[in-house]
Structure 1
């Protein structure tokens, strides 16, 4: 399943590259560099005085917690950082006069924008069947090199109710444009007014990156009702049921309190019982007393129960609801009533 998801993700990245190159709007006086990192020649009306090596590179981190419980629906907040750098400035064409020197200086400034990513689109993908991403694409404005996004991207996720504890991989696919190269030109230079007929041109590239993230499903105490001892009859008052609970999780449950939820034909003023502390694998039995309606139909019933406990961090936790079976027999005959009927007859 995980390998299949990775193959689907690779296909998605290829498709996004094609879509981005076809749909990205061009800035005024610019050309789009197909293929991203490959150099595209500038227009013949400008000169290129510098060859610059470098580009944006994005990293991502989760803001706040990435730990969740089974069944959680939550917002995962992801901040982006641009860690791209310029590694080299190399002369491409030597300026020969005052005009070209000024143009070279101006282009040098323009080339520093090479590491800016803009605009950034992010898609979060789960590589596990236990984590579902419910949000679509998120868009962020330009992010210069050395900066971290002020507002994180927000993705709605859902953790499966049956997710085992552990780490689950996510892939954040980001795609964006960046300046691949810059060129400048001018018709003349004036000692007072500077460059005359100035023009500039830029070629742009596109990049797609896949950044690994993880979310964790917390370990917690889990419970099962492993044994039930009950003898109930219709019309019975104060009937006793004994339920044995086992901590099937990997965490201690302190000050555990078992509670039952009753519906017709059951009722009780004694619907909770203390279990104390249960270490993983421990079992303890709780006793409850309940009344059975006199009109109850004999047969099998199900009673819901949950355990409230304190975890290792001191948090009060309520377990997932589980159920256990009980059988209700027919109403017992009243021997006193039968004796009175015999006397009358």
Structure 2
């Protein structure tokens, strides 16, 4: 990557800045009931880069509902919408039109990423919104996990540069936008940020970071990246929830095993083992449901973009954590079952011995008579 002198430039940019705030609100959302209870519609299938029928298919397309505009202290007025995924995630997207130069975009990125607490502002709005359709939310959670993500979508840049030209001339500024940093980053840090870039045509570009992304594309072209970034973050949220749930379950099992003393006390492990097995089945079903919510059939660019986005936001890391904890839980379940079976076998042996002793007693007693 080559960089230029980081002095301010007046290159004109225009587009939108989006903030995605997602909440894990329940175990499942009944989308059909939700549509009847709210002024919502089913989202159409995601678009693709190619001028061809959609090859990215939701198993159950999310439901979309418009939200009232949100006004920040700065006077910025954001238009919003809420999207409901059937696996219990509510995704809120607010966007603000943008026009200015690179320095303006960098300042806006830094302020939005670090200075504005969107989640705390929006959660009360979403809770009120969900109250009117509560029957559609299965096993709602009292405490919501949340994730936020920022997308800086540039639709037009002066001179209509190609992706290569944009990286060559403004790579360090793109890195600042993705990092949300007002100061010029070191060369190595810029290279690290720009390694996560992807393009389909010569005139489109996406640079994806762990909490923000820079997208240079038309409105239609950027739709694929925006929806897949949203989906990747919803997956992260789900696997974070499963990780916390499994941590709590394993802690309870470890405490239980630590308290057990004696062979007959193991009988109480049977009920706990059944409870643990039920939790494992539930989590396995839910993770498969969330993991397969969207299918990439033959759109290889969408699949590559999703893998890149998922890797940057941390989906594989949490997925591996969940897989390891599931394996540990399965081993514990097997151990608890074996301990119970040993206790049952010992008990049966004792019963058999007692029966033999009783029979012998009456047999000898009868002979004595």
Shared fold (TM-score, shorter chain, > 0.5): no
TM value normalised by structure 1: 0.21
Greater Rg by CA: 1
- Higher helix content, 1 or 2: 2
- Higher strand content, 1 or 2: 1
TM value normalised by structure 2: 0.20
